A and B are shown apart, each in its own frame.
Chain A
């Protein structure tokens, strides 16, 4: 796959690790990136706050250059992505505006190509199976809150690759990398990036809510695909902790940093050591945690097996004898045996009716009565409930 690439200003400055890790992710996934020649800033929020035509013309210059290559464009920054999509769709749907934009940039531009986000590329265009193929060190033991923010999912008409209230693409990617993702309430809440500089007291409270909800949902880290979210959650986390007198210490990752890490890269290679909140240690702690988790799982499995499997042939034969005897008794006198499993008289009667003449059910229940009383009761109840439902249906 070959794509045009628009890094965006942040990815060469404050979010340099996003730029590095996006390029590395593309390389790992076999996507060739061709940087848009001599690209300019998209104007971001300041552009659309100030002048509509300007806010469309600035992205349009980049899009027009990319259009000549005939390639779709990968735009990692959520803010740039949103401005690019808005421009694309305006040009497609508003003929009057299209002419004005072309006049302002003094270039032809028809919006024939498509701007694509990192999440869309990884989860939909490449897909989880393709990602899994490349994973060398699964992020098992990682508990992540996938944070989508605003600009990747809204407005739906402009973005549209995921659900605006409960998006899943990042969760799909993280799961393909082996991590566990938590269910939480603030997936698409705004972090207040637009207010961080002008009204920090408002912005801090918004960031606080996100950190708090992620932690309360059991997350040990937050994952983002937006450099502005990263700035607020990572760089300003210490300030938020001070303001609200609450320690979080939550590492924040770009989704692409995790792709690189899971594919075997050292975190330093894509700049994860440049974060404000220490983020390398958590990644390095994962293999040990995963090993412990696996050991515990093995232990559990072993216990289960030893419980149900007899130690030697002699015991096995004895057990079989017991089960056979129980099954015989059951077939001979179903009501009496059923009463031994179910206390309720009517239900026991019903159970007897169900199993009468059904050898399979009898031998299964007989086996369970010898090996696992609790399970026998559960199985019997399930049989009874099923029968009751069937009868209700017939009556209705």
Chain B
């Protein structure tokens, strides 16, 4: 009975939240008839706690918390195989994206490393207008406490002229920074 779930009708809040997630993802979970094709073709299903099909089922049942708390949404590689193959046209990959963003908004992140990486990546873009690969590697390792991760890559990359030590900066840095600020003001999605 470990996997048994006590079902109660979804609350108004949950229904509203689901409607928002669906709108943002541009798809509807009620289309899904649980055939499992998404999960059969998913290249990372082997590492997921709940397969894509099950995450969709959670949403259909109004169990938004369970979907948001799934490790799976952070394991999803955004490869879009599921969306390409769904016979009902459910955009599962887009739902995963929307769930990640919602989890981020609610501060419910089961995998801190992904969030830390994303933040470091976007900070580089916000400040310089371009990706700062060297800074990204170092910041990421520092913030996640993995000081020597990928060390076997850093030096050889540098030697091959594949890793600039200083960031590339664009002239329109201020414009890019303003895009970040305006998006924040507008609430984004």
Residues of A within 8 A of B (CB): 9-10, 12-16, 38-41, 43-54, 57-58, 61, 100, 103-106, 150, 154-156, 164-165, 188-190, 192-195, 197-200, 202, 205-206, 209, 235-236, 238-239, 274, 276
Contacts and interface: CB of A to CB of B under 8 A. Distances in A.
Interface in B61-107: 74-75, 77-81, 83-84, 91, 93, 97-98, 100-101, 104
B176 A199 contact: no
Contacts, number: 171
Interface of A is mostly: helix
A202 B129 contact: no
A155 B183 contact: no
Given A47-B122, A49-B114, A51-B188, A199 B75 contact: yes
Interface string B125-155: 1000111010000001000000001101100
Nearest to B185: A104
A164 B189 contact: no
Nearest to B180: A54
Interface of B is mostly: helix
Given A154-B83, A190-B77, A199-B113, A9 B101 contact: no
A9 B163 CA distance: 11
B114 A53 contact: no
B75 A154 contact: no
Interface in B14-68: 24, 43-44, 46-47
B79 A52 contact: no
A239 B176 CA distance: 37
B156 A195 contact: no
A40 B125 contact: yes
A61 B157 contact: no
Contacts of B170: 38-40
Nearest to A236: B153
A350 B179 CA distance: 83
Nearest to A52: B189
Contacts of B113: 197-199
Given A13-B164, A50-B122, A276 B130 contact: no
A274 B188 contact: no
